[in-house]
Amino acid sequence: MSYDIAELPEDGEPITVADEDTGELDVPANPIIPIIHGDGIGTDVGPAAQQVLDAAAEATGRSIAWMRVYAGESAREKYDENMPEETVRAIREHRVAIKGPLTTPVGSGFRSLNVALRKVLDLYANVRPTYHLDGVPSPVKNPEEMDMITFRENTEDVYAGIEWEAGTDEVEKVREFVEDEMGADGVIHDGPVGIGIKPITEFGSKRLIREAIDYAVANGRDSVTLVHKGNIMKFTEGQFRDWGYEVAEEEYGDDVVTEDELWEEYDGEQPDGTVVVKDRIADNMLQQLLTRTSDYSVIATMNLNGDYMSDAAGAQIGGLGIAPGVNFGHGKALAEPVHGSAPKYAGQDKVNPTAMILSGREMLDYLGWSDAADLVRDAVEAQISSGRVTYDLERQIEGGEKLATSEFAEEVVERIHDLA
């Protein structure tokens, strides 16, 4: 492995694949982990997360050999391009990485770099855990009822990016084909129109839903809910639901029961050790997150629904400044916070690094370092409960004390040392 600009650390070993069929990894005690600090506030939260993750690794007898790689603004400075090939190659070769937020212009400019990384690396599952930490202010009465993990498909639906701009020759060809050849005359209003295609495949749906069910079975979760708008989009979102039930019924045997079977065969009493697979319409699900929060454990859904769902769930536990995320592929993972780059706060040593830190916690868990991952969560929760927090939380906590990003990270590190 050689790189032109990125530097390969000398004190680390690469992660390798132990089983090609399952994607199981062989993780050394000192793995090389590529990291992209990111744009905007990434310059603040990236180093803060590194500091905390280093402490958790060291407290459990391990170490991380960080490999700085670049995308977005930092890549333009070093490579004169947004997504250098060697950044992609470094993540692909080293299997597990973490990144901060990358800026995407709205309505113009380059396409999302976050999406580009997920697609080029085939990181098909965007996984967003949502749980409440003691001490975090929340707009709901019982935020502790939220303990949900969303599996959001990462390569299809709106991320497929098949669309044609209003006023172009291409969109008029599509309109003509849809109206004249496909029998949809009169469906599209006269005048300028933008048209997009929303692909949902059996392959993409089933591998995402398998990830969700596998997670539920392995972690003792009681249900997987397929979220869709199949009452309207019957052959895309409705098909996602149908393929989900096919996977559950054909591949998981006695490990799962459907919600219909639960009531028809078990009178509503869930058999021990099983996962209930059910489905909900997307708009109804958004209100049930508030009204029946504890009924939902693992969500499997398409791309756009998953974005809405996980952000709404994040609001219930204190906002996106707390919300972690990670992208899974076959034998590879890229952790990243849910929040954006917030460029107006860049370099001010001000923002909350918790989402980036907890995304790192998901990365540690993926490595099989559950003891280090637990230390990170416990230390962050203890720090927030103390009231010594960054400005976003301090202004909501009576008697809170405001810390800089770097100060918050330093105190979390101290708590890791105390807990270890």
> Could you say which of 39, 215, 229, 365 is catalytic?
229
> Could you say which of 159, 215, 245, 252 is catalytic?
159
Type of residue numbered 349: D
Q: Name the residue with tokens 């204190």.
A: 318
Buried b (16+ CB within 10 A) or exposed e, 159-191: bbeeebeeeeeebeebbeeeeeeeeeeeeeeee
In the annotation, is 308 catalytic?
no
Instruction: Show the tokens assigned to 110.
Output: 């380059």
Q: Which residues are annotated binding-site positions for NADP(+)?
A: 103, 339-345, 352, 391, 395
Instruction: Show the tokens assigned to 125.
Output: 């599952």
Instruction: Show the tokens assigned to 286.
Output: 């958004």
CA distance 175 to 182: 10
In the annotation, is 332 catalytic?
no
The answer for 207, left when phi > 0, alpha when psi is -120 to 50, beta otherwise, is alpha
**Phi and psi at residue 306, to the nearest 5°:** -65, -35
> Could you say which of 39, 157, 307, 365 is catalytic?
307
Kindly give the pairing relationship between strand 16-19 and strand 24-26.
antiparallel
In the annotation, is 190 catalytic?
no
> Could you say which of 26, 147, 283, 311 is catalytic?
283
Q: Which residues are annotated binding-site positions for D-threo-isocitrate?
A: 112, 114, 118, 128, 152
Q: Which residues are annotated binding-site positions?
A: 103, 112, 114, 118, 128, 152, 307, 339-345, 352, 391, 395
The answer for 100, left when phi > 0, alpha when psi is -120 to 50, beta otherwise, is beta
DSSP state of 95: -
CA distance 100 to 345: 14
In the annotation, is 349 catalytic?
no
CA distance 216 to 298: 7
Strand, coil or helix: what is 225? strand
CA distance 389 to 268: 44
DSSP state of 277: E
Q: Which residues pair with 227 in a beta bridge?
A: 280, 301
CA neighbours closer than 13 Å in the CB half-sphere of residue 291: 6
Residues designated catalytic:
159, 229, 283, 307
